[in-house]
Structure 1
């Protein structure tokens, strides 16, 4: 059935999304502009899809004649979502929410950069993450100034990311409608989730002055200054040996949301493509990485707890911390490490039907754990046989929460500790992961199986923390030996996957396999994070890391790895 779905999607997407920069025939921004005009933004009609350059600040702009400070008010608004199947409830509805912004030196700064939960005030399917944008003036606009900002729509169940840009014009006390366009995503192609979104959002505006605006500006400036410098991939890839992998068409046009290589202490980024040209805010672009979350967040959290408490947290028993599993025969003897390594000896499975009914549709942590407790046992005892199951990572998340509560009290959330003591120090404080849907948001628990939404900067910083064996600067943040185990640098060699198609080895939520290179190195063993849709973060020697964020099932990453190795160590 999956094959049929992909074939259908291929036909529909290639016919409806002829928007790769090399094939997208729409015009780019011209002077004077002929799209997103003041008249269009003051009207209430939806616009056709346009090149993303129309949402960016043009070369002929001048500074905005006034700053922007206040609250944008949005109501539930129907949007156009061009997908291949019926809408889920609220999927074609932009959510009711308030967005607060201030400006500084032409930058439009959102007061809130974390995930905005909308389910309590909206019927929409979507939560929202907002990034920093721009304000400017174009002489032809008269009294109006312009603004645009990046915006990510994400669901509450699996963590897809739809990369959008919003644009409007404004005066000191009023704004136009907001034009929204989403032309790229990391989503589920098997569920026919790929497709463009646009709409005209009626917007209200309340001018405000914020007493802490100076601190907000300083925090933003500090965050930007702390980003890893970005260089064009073309600086090291003059012959497009690497870029060709990121430009390759698979099922739709522009399938790769982002491709980058960290090498020689620099990040080399290929311009992020959408189906309507280049995304104008690549630094703010968020990506739904699905099972990369298991390593990017799950391994991160457990290795931090082992370092924090200076004890064998990996060896703690699940049954001591998850009451619903305490008498479950299959979970006897299962450790935290077994869950992270997919060797619990329990029946979890990764088939879509079981995963959906057990974990995805469960709203609360207790409901999810009860569902998992209803799953059966497997013949093998814990620690023997690799059996990939996302349910294991939620069990681990639940167990880590109860472990921390036992250590520090019921009001302490383990992910808050990870945020404050891992993410903030490395400069990834806005890294967001999917949580359960509790009535009390404070008690929501990370799913850990999927749902991470990093920017490239956050992904690189977390990857480098692992590459540096858990050390940031002079401080050891993650347990050093456990991180070394990830990379096979201790006597413990992890678990065989019995030649799973994704990789041959599995160590603490990281895959590994042997790659034949084109250099004198011959065969090398590579370690990588991998998520649904074939999102990859690949670790090579000398702190070289490959990032490829994709949603179209391309497991053939070996040639890309070989070409990066050749770029690092060219054959003489």
Structure 2
């Protein structure tokens, strides 16, 4: 389906404004700058690729009967530079009825033996430009499709040539299906042949996800059209991608950690341990500025684009968005922000079931509003009100449900985990700021920290690009993004691009460096605290006899099996999984061999 011209024009204006931020950061003018090559280009292969899957004959006249090895979608070692330059729009047809589907897990009975929109792609119409062998979608981040169940994330792919393709160029593009109004990510790849005026059919498959409750394989091969034209702002898009790739943290396989630190006696099996391998999306250890990374397995081998595999935030957004927003506003507006009263900035409190007269933004981000139904661990979070809140799309419905908890105790005295509270605090900070809170974070924190363009959007109310950002969930990372966020908090003291973007005092307390402000004790287990949207665990010799001191590990945590543990020796261990397994102490112990905690 084509994007309406007015909508395309608005998207280009927004993109130009955003890319202008990149240009300012690099000292370049997007209108006048020459195209910067992407690091690693040009390809140096001969094009003599031995191919048995997704041959030219298959892509120009075949059909898809199942998923196949993901390696067939990957850039081959012998790939040569593409023979053509893609510039314009790729549009698929037949999405609503085409393709195959195999359900692997469906806890909420979304699908059955009959047909369902969940078994097919949404309508796909994508604008691309090309920089050497890199095929770059003009619009990255979350794309609101209007489909009943699916939105899209599309990331930069690759273009190349093979001698067996008879003068065509070949492309492969990573994308992800994102459940509407939800944070689950289902990673996929599409591939096609193209020349100066046309494309082959497009082959696609979904073979991996980070989603506890809904897992499936989806595949197909659909007709497509290519409309070539000069894309507005193409140079800025090309240069932004080159800058993004150049700005990634140095990356090595996790196995290189032992080779780089031979005297540490590392047991690499500790990293990724405790999580069922089939449900692990990715893990890594950031140490001394190097992101040591795992592979990225799928049900058909290895994902062809590990570096841009999209990972859902779930509740790590309570830290990376809501908690970070408080640190940002405290830096820009002063230390009084955290003490602002919810009642002064969220008028819907007037219809609340509970009492909000003395509840501050800080209380709310600490999960200590005093308003709850049940104090036992995660009982409210797993109850009907939060379920309805998570399902609701309109802002009015969501905010009314968020306030539907009675008053039990004085604010600041009892921790009860509520995603609803984070939504309220996010709205309060947005109204205090007087403009969009996520945009402030994007421009003031995420862009200076050099997060990927795909990370610069959020789930919002109304299934809209202009609704209220959720705050407590709804971000999308890749492995470089999460390492850079951890580095910002744990290593750089809230400084990005040479500028103090987060308040150092509030960040210090959040990272458990202020003994006078540890946050509030949680009801999860002994030794856990919660401060400004971040968790923390105190490791003591009584619990872990291998240590002769006690120390704190602040961490971000997400639904289904997501942890980002920021260690006091400067390392960060992270993993994204979806089997409800939370296991990271072994990795913490092993990382302590690189530099002692005590």
TM-score range, shorter chain: 0.7 to 0.9
Larger mean CA deviation between 69-78 and 334-343 belongs to 69-78
Partner of 1:223: 244
**Corresponding residue to 2:444 among 421, 427, 441:** 421
Mark the runs of 5 or more structure 2 residues left unpaired by the alignment. 1-47, 260-264, 374-379
Partner of 2:12: none
Q: 1:570 to 1:331 in 2, by over 3 A?
A: closer
Partner of 2:91: 73
Question: Structure 1: how far apart are the matches of 2:384 and 2:580?
Answer: 19
Partner of 1:395: 424
Once the two structures are superposed, residues 290-343 of structure 1 have per-residue CA deviations (whole angstroms, 9 ceiling, x without a partner) of 111110111111111111112411100001111111364422211001111100
TM-score (norm 2): 0.83
Q: 1:39 to 1:503 in 2, by over 3 A?
A: farther
Partner of 1:367: 397
Partner of 2:267: 241
The answer to whether the 8 Å contact 1:470/1:478 transfers is: yes
Q: CA RMSD in A?
A: 2.4
Kindly report which structure 2 residues correspond to 1:263-274, keeping only aligned pairs within 5 A, or say none: 263-274=287-298
Question: Structure 2: how far apart are the matches of 1:50 and 1:248?
Answer: 29
Question: Structure 2: how far apart are the matches of 1:453 and 1:115?
Answer: 8
Question: Structure 2: how far apart are the matches of 1:296 and 1:59?
Answer: 37
Partner of 1:17: none
**Corresponding residue to 2:370 among 336, 345, 349:** 345
Larger mean CA deviation between 313-322 and 348-357 belongs to 348-357
Partner of 1:485: 509
Question: Structure 2: how far apart are the matches of 1:473 and 1:219?
Answer: 16
Larger mean CA deviation between 380-389 and 154-163 belongs to 154-163
Q: SS of the counterpart of 1:262?
A: strand
Question: Structure 1: how far apart are the matches of 2:427 and 2:78?
Answer: 54
Question: Structure 2: how far apart are the matches of 1:437 and 1:159?
Answer: 13
The answer to whether the 8 Å contact 2:537/2:552 transfers is: yes
Mark the runs of 5 or more structure 1 residues left unpaired by the alignment. 1-29, 406-411
Partner of 1:115: 142
1:43 aligns with 2:61: yes
Question: Structure 2: how far apart are the matches of 1:317 and 1:249?
Answer: 41
Q: 1:570 to 1:471 in 2, by over 3 A?
A: closer
1:126 aligns with 2:146: no
Partner of 1:495: 520
The answer to whether the 8 Å contact 1:147/1:169 transfers is: yes
Once the two structures are superposed, residues 66-118 of structure 1 have per-residue CA deviations (whole angstroms, 9 ceiling, x without a partner) of 12111001243344332234436621221113211122221111111121110
Partner of 1:19: none
The answer to whether the 8 Å contact 2:135/2:159 transfers is: yes
1:538 aligns with 2:557: no
**Corresponding residue to 1:336 among 346, 358, 361:** 361
Shift of residue 439 of structure 1?
8.0
Q: 1:87 to 1:221 in 2, by over 3 A?
A: same
Question: Structure 2: how far apart are the matches of 1:415 and 1:488?
Answer: 25
Once the two structures are superposed, residues 353-372 of structure 1 have per-residue CA deviations (whole angstroms, 9 ceiling, x without a partner) of 33121x22221222211222
**Corresponding residue to 1:292 among 298, 316, 321:** 316
Question: Structure 2: how far apart are the matches of 1:170 and 1:476?
Answer: 46
Give the count of matched residue pairs.
524
Shift of residue 168 of structure 1?
0.9
Question: Structure 2: how far apart are the matches of 1:482 and 1:178?
Answer: 50
Q: SS of the counterpart of 1:291?
A: helix
Partner of 1:450: 473
1:201 aligns with 2:222: yes
Q: 1:244 to 1:55 in 2, by over 3 A?
A: farther
Q: 1:503 to 1:38 in 2, by over 3 A?
A: farther
Q: SS of the counterpart of 2:358?
A: coil
Shift of residue 524 of structure 1?
3.2
Question: Structure 1: how far apart are the matches of 2:232 and 2:326?
Answer: 39
Partner of 1:146: 170
Question: Structure 2: how far apart are the matches of 1:183 and 1:109?
Answer: 22
Shift of residue 249 of structure 1?
6.1
Q: SS of the counterpart of 1:150?
A: strand
TM-score (norm 1): 0.86
The answer to whether the 8 Å contact 2:370/2:412 transfers is: yes
Partner of 1:32: 50
Partner of 2:305: 281
Question: Structure 1: how far apart are the matches of 2:209 and 2:415?
Answer: 31
Q: SS of the counterpart of 1:326?
A: helix
Q: SS of the counterpart of 1:398?
A: helix
Question: Structure 2: how far apart are the matches of 1:202 and 1:460?
Answer: 39
Q: 1:81 to 1:298 in 2, by over 3 A?
A: farther
Question: Structure 2: how far apart are the matches of 1:433 and 1:212?
Answer: 20
